[in-house]
Amino acid sequence: MQFLRDAGAVRRTVAAWSAAGDSVALVPTMGNLHAGHIALVEAARRRVARVVVSIFVNPTQFGPREDFAAYPRTLPADRRLLGAAGADLLFAPGVKALYPHDTHRAVTVSVPGLSGELCGASRPGHFDGVCSVVLRLLNVVRPEVALFGEKDFQQLAILRRLVADLQVPVAMACVATVREPDGLAMSSRNQYLTPAERSVAPLLAETLRDCAKRIAAGRKDYARLERDAVRRLRAGGFRPDYVAVRTANDLARPGPDDRRLRVLAAAWLGRARLIDNVPVSAGSRR
Ligand code: PAF
């Protein structure tokens, strides 16, 4: 596996692969890789000849009081994992490589509407930072396909809008959330949990699954289901930001005839902000 920090060198490498007829995928990450990331690399390998993984803890997607400084950085271990998983190139740029005019004066792209809702309501500017870095990474690597995890379901919806509206020639693919045996969605932030918090953390996935079951059984009183789920999480020791039932394709508030839905949540447990979501097909009215 090649390891490059320089954007120009990445461009030249990918251009040589493309000239040789090899298709290229990009898996953007912030490192501290776990099985969820490796599932993205494996899915990429099934689709294309060459897999590029980027590792960049993007400062512009963290708020001033968020965990940018504390975010786990484990490059040597990540490098070993990616080599074993069969990635072809690890791109690990420094800040200047992606933000040459420093982050405060950087050109920013923003997807209106959805970026201010759900996670965007409690993390102002977060999705602008995500869009701004992903567009830069796509412009450096120019992959045919970019892969993202479904755990960040809102991120995926926003990035799909970004590439569609700006006509970025890339296919956006998603990979199902990888979970621990007790149901907790894998996340780099799980390591912020104390042993006691870790033991209650699966309640988040369980609450979403139960909410989805009720919807599948025909419940349409979504606001009430959301309130009940928030109450259950609070009783379990979480500080929920939101639980929301939304349409699966554009995360709008569902009407009575919308069938493909998603139940999403973000909740604090100790110093970890956990997110999760599950799919649901709305049942017939009850
Ligand atoms: O999902 C993530 O890890 C990040 O938001 C991403 C897409 C790599 C952008 O920094």
Q: For the chain, 286 residues long, give each residue's pLDDT as a single digit of tens.
A: 999 999 999 999 999 999 999 999 999 999 999 999 999 999 999 999 999 999 999 999 999 999 999 999 999 999 999 999 999 999 999 999 999 998 999 999 999 999 999 999 999 999 999 999 999 999 999 999 999 999 999 999 999 999 999 999 999 999 999 999 999 999 999 999 999 999 999 999 999 999 999 999 999 999 999 999 999 999 999 999 999 999 999 999 999 999 999 999 999 999 999 999 999 999 875 5
DSSP E strands: which ranges in the chain? 2-4, 24-29, 50-55, 89-91, 145-149, 171-175, 239-247, 260-269, 272-281
Q: Whole-angstrom Cα distance, residue 246 to residue 112?
A: 17
Q: Which atom of ligand 1 is nearest to the CA of 149?
A: 1
pLDDT digits 0-9 by tens, 159-197: 999 999 999 999 999 999 999 999 999 999 999 999 999
pTM over 0.95: yes
Distance in Å, CA 221 to ligand 1 centroid? 33
Boundaries of every domain in the chain: 2-175, 188-281
The superfamily in CATH containing domain 188-281 is: Pantoate-beta-alanine ligase, C-terminal domain (3.30.1300.10)
Structure tokens at 206: 């369980």
Interval between CA 156 and ligand 1 midpoint (Å): 10
Range 2-175 has CATH code 3.40.50.620: yes
Token couple for 66? 């968020």
- Identity (one letter) of the amino acid at 110? S
* Ramachandran area for residue 113 (φ above 0: left; ψ -120 to 50: alpha; else beta): left
